[in-house]
Amino acid sequence: MKKLLFIFLIGIGFTFTACDQSDDNVKLIDESDLSITDVASVVDTEVAITNVMTEADYESDLFSLEESSTKSGGDGSRLRNLAELYKKWRCYKDDLGPEVTIVEGENDGFPKTITVDYGDGITLTNGRVISGIVTILVSAPPRTDGAMREIEYQDFMIDSIGIAGYKKVVFSVESGVSRKFEHEYDLNFTFADETEVSCVGNKAKEWMEGLDTNYDRSDDKIHITGQDVFIDSENNEFKKEIEDHLLRLGSCKFIVSGIVIYSQNSDEFARVDFGDGTCDDKAVRNTADGETEMTLGKHKHGRKK
């Protein structure tokens, strides 16, 4: 079993010299000049993680914003009809959503603990299947600046990728313009082929459109930014940078545009282009060997022979 350790950092000011060049002039370093076992495997695995965590974040964002915005009954039970809420959200196939329980604190209902139980599997309208439990501790009403939530994943899985661990999210808002989520996390991922990946890091997500339609995800538009440093199990270090931003649409389970750059010692060795905004499961990986179309959500595993 191969285990990769991914350490993610944001806003630490790493300079990627290749980023100052136009795409046509970028020289990609050949794999033989890098201390990386398999460039394609590294990139495909990281892209698969990005896709499942984008979905996990979307779910926790929706529940945190909706369930924590008003106080429940004194016994912590939900007074609204969650089945109707799922229909308004248009998130779940046949309107069969997860089981949600809420425990409230003594300060006007806060801190509030939201437990979302997907059981053996809930199918989203976008085709993903989620199972397991997410626990969300919310410090204050999330539509106010500085509200923090702590998220724990337990026996949690999206499609065939298991997720366990902890995340902290700080919320900020510019009224009528955007919602911003800043993430810090310590997570572990397990793939169907028993590949394991650990992830520690930071990123920022900004909800740019769909703010005035709380119960309709189809018009949501989310920008994702960040910089990452990776260290694999053989202590090979490389870096990742999101160029400009990645774009997530509420109606699509995949990232639809944006470019991710990978480098080692400031030498760029790969780029992934997620497209022109069209919802599909394809991206293009560019290395010194040329361009290769990727299927998002899948990953290659195993070193080259």
Q: What is the pTM of this model?
A: 0.74
pLDDT for residue 236: 59
pLDDT for residue 88: 52
The tokens 């991922």 sit on which residue? 189
* pLDDT tens string 166-216: 999 998 877 666 678 898 888 888 888 887 777 878 889 888 887 666 656
* pLDDT tens string 61-101: 777 766 555 445 444 444 344 545 555 556 787 777 888 88
pLDDT for residue 246: 95
CA distance 252 to 63: 18
Give the SS3 label for residue 76. coil
CA distance 38 to 43: 9
Give the burial string for 22-41 (b: 16+ CB within 10 Å, else e). Answer: eeeeeebbebeebebbbbbb
Over residues 105-119, mean pLDDT: 91
**pLDDT at 302 exceeding the cut of 90:** no
* pLDDT tens string 235-287: 657 778 899 899 999 888 889 999 999 988 888 999 999 999 999 999 999 99
pLDDT for residue 138: 93
For β-strands 161-174 and 196-209, DSSP reports them as unpaired
CA distance 284 to 280: 12
Over residues 133-150, mean pLDDT: 88
Give the pair of three-digit tokens for residue 174: 């510019």
